[in-house]
Structure 1
Amino acid sequence: MDGFQSDTKVIVLAATNRPEALDPALCRPGRFSRKVLVGEPDEEGRKKILGVHLRGVPLEEDRQLICDLVASLTPGLVGADLANIVNESALLAARRGGETVTREDIMEAVERAKFGINDKQLRPSTISRELGKLFPWVPSLMGRSDTKQDGLEGPMGYQTLS
């Protein structure tokens, strides 16, 4: 903290969710005298956080009921995760053309936040096609002798899938 006189009092507040990524020069003794760790919110805290994020969202059901439901299903999630659930549920409602966010939208958003479910499900044919693009020799490793399946052949006789 250069540029200040010795009698100048400066208070710096900072927050991070990745303290391991901080520059070691910032963490030297004497730089910051106090560190306050803020843990994950409990169920009551999650209800209050959800109440803030759901303020402007048109819901099909009672706001408090939705807050109670989502808070009970999301132990371990923090404010950013809960905000993501609200945003994702609003996007899901918009995609289906709804005017309000339904319980189903919120439950799907909770699933996506907790388990990372996405729209595009990979089928085995999709996986093998993508692997074939990256590694043209994969069909031969899988015991497939039909190298001209799509009728396309790349350089040096390798099959290219499209």
Structure 2
Amino acid sequence: MPDEYTAVEYFKKGLSWVPVEGYVRLTPLGQQYVFHELIKQGLSADNLKALGFKPEMVDRQFLIRDLDRMVFDGVDTELMCPNCGRKGEYRNAVNPATHRKTSWDCWWRVGCPSCKTRLKHAFPTQQEAKTAWENGQLDQQPKETR
């Protein structure tokens, strides 16, 4: 490192030295390269903020990533995961009244197969589960408990 201050900053942020050749838009401390590598490893926005990256930059980069995905995958925002931005899936859940998970009386939960985020509670209809998921209310309780 050129000086002690730079070395300490690298150490505190968990960064290693990265050569300038071969990387696009590399910041002086190599943060952008490290940031994108951590995203590829599957770290969430909250994890990156906890590592010390600026919250505004993290949010902006995740929005850019989500918009890029929309361009390639189409602008389908239905069941988009609030954590990683990928498409969630409906999953059958146990009906609290009958304690069964058969196709005609099951309740519904939405989860992301990529980052394993899911709703905490199940809902009697897919629409209620979808609304809670898309509003990011993962801890929301169902309105009725048939």
TM-score by length of 2: 0.28
In proportion to residue count, which structure has more strand? 2
TM-score by length of 1: 0.26
Find the structure with the greater CA-based Rg.
1
In proportion to residue count, which structure has more helix? 1
